[in-house]
Structure 1
Amino acid sequence: MKTATAHAPAASPPRPLSFDDRLALAALAVDARTDTAPFDLADVIRVPADSPQPAAPSPYSSPIADLLHRARIRLETAGWCRTALHDESGAVCPIRAIRLEARGRRDLADDACIALLAAIQRDFPTAETIPSWNAQQSSPAPVLLALDNAARHAATHNQ
């Protein structure tokens, strides 16, 4: 006795996926891998207990005065370098502190250096350049004072 066997219709070859189909599948794959459960940033961000606290906001609203203020803080915290731009311990000279705090805004850094030199020359008329004056100092105190004076002057003259 012969039994009838049912034959399934021949499957057609799969059609190629369109760009939109592939994009939709990729989005689904990303969604499947992404955990959307909320998390607490305190569990993710850890700050060492001995890390310095964030600096207080600048008391100056003018860009040059603010930059000079930040440069002063950097020089005070990183250390003062007298005869070079910086040293291996991270200490910096006033110009380097200004350039680092300017974060690539060269015109602003140049204007801040001009304001600093003017402040230095008000107290030390024979000073020709910031580096030559900086090299003559025996401690960071006059450098910090010059940055303070330059920032105050820039703030009062809206620089």
Structure 2
Amino acid sequence: MTATTAPAASAAIAAPLTFDERLALAALAVDARIDNQPLDLTDIVRAPADTPRPATSPYSTPIADLLHRARLRIETAGWCRDAAYDDAGAVCPIHAIRQEAATRGQADDACVLLLESIQRQWADETIPAWNRRQPSAAPVLLQLDHAAQLAHARNL
């Protein structure tokens, strides 16, 4: 009698679970863990308390907000005149815009507005040419402000 029951027991153990059965067991395991274990907030990575929080943008339109964030990036990281960026983290206006933009199209739109804003006051044909002629970051920051105001006025 033991000889006939042994193969049946081993056959039941050896049968693999189907995908649906494994998925149902995994869902039950997740449910059991969620229901029984409280959320442990010490596992969440946090920034140091003394890290300055970025200022909120005064603009509600996406391109104006992007230009404002690019301005803040240059203010905090530093301004770069003759390259897109340097080893210290300083950036040129185009690189700051590209870093802050969610998409390439958004960055392109912001650069077009910045160039338009520049050409209203200066005779430069490109943003890099204008950027190289600036004596400090102050005119660059001011021009990013003008471009952000232009984008906001156009609801961009």
TM range (shorter): 0.7 to 0.9
Matched, 1:10 2:14: no
Structure 1 partner of 2:100: 101
Deviation at residue 21 of structure 1 after TM alignment: 3.7
Rg larger in structure: 1
Read off the aligned partner of 1:109 and give its amino acid letter.
A
Normalised to the residue count of structure 2, the TM-score between the two structures is 0.82
Read off the aligned partner of 2:106 and give its amino acid letter.
L
Q: How many residues align?
A: 150
Compute the RMSD of aligned alpha carbons: 2.5
Structure 2 partner of 1:131: 128
Matched, 1:88 2:124: no
Structure 2 partner of 1:70: 69
Provide the C-alpha distance between the structure 2 equivalents of 1:109 and 1:21, rounded to a whole number of angstroms: 48
Deviation at residue 81 of structure 1 after TM alignment: 0.4
**Measured at CA, do residues 24 and 150 of structure 1 come closer, stay the same or move farther in structure 2, by a change above 3 Å?**
closer
Deviation at residue 57 of structure 1 after TM alignment: 2.4
Matched, 1:115 2:118: no
Render the CA deviation track for 1:26-69: whole Å, top value 9, x for unaligned.
5556667779421352664432233222x232211222111111
Structure 2 partner of 1:145: 142
Greater shift, 136-145 or 55-64, is seen at 55-64
Greater shift, 13-22 or 92-101, is seen at 13-22
Identity of aligned residues (%): 59
Greater shift, 114-123 or 41-50, is seen at 41-50
Structure 2 gaps, min length 5: none
**What does residue range 10-89 of structure 1 map to in structure 2 within 5 Å?**
10-11=4-5, 12=8, 13-15=10-12, 16-19=15-18, 20-27=20-27, 36-41=36-41, 44-53=44-53, 55-89=54-88
Structure 2 partner of 1:3: none
Read off the aligned partner of 2:129 and give its amino acid letter.
S
Structure 1 gaps, min length 5: 1-6
Structure 2 partner of 1:4: none
Greater shift, 20-29 or 105-114, is seen at 20-29
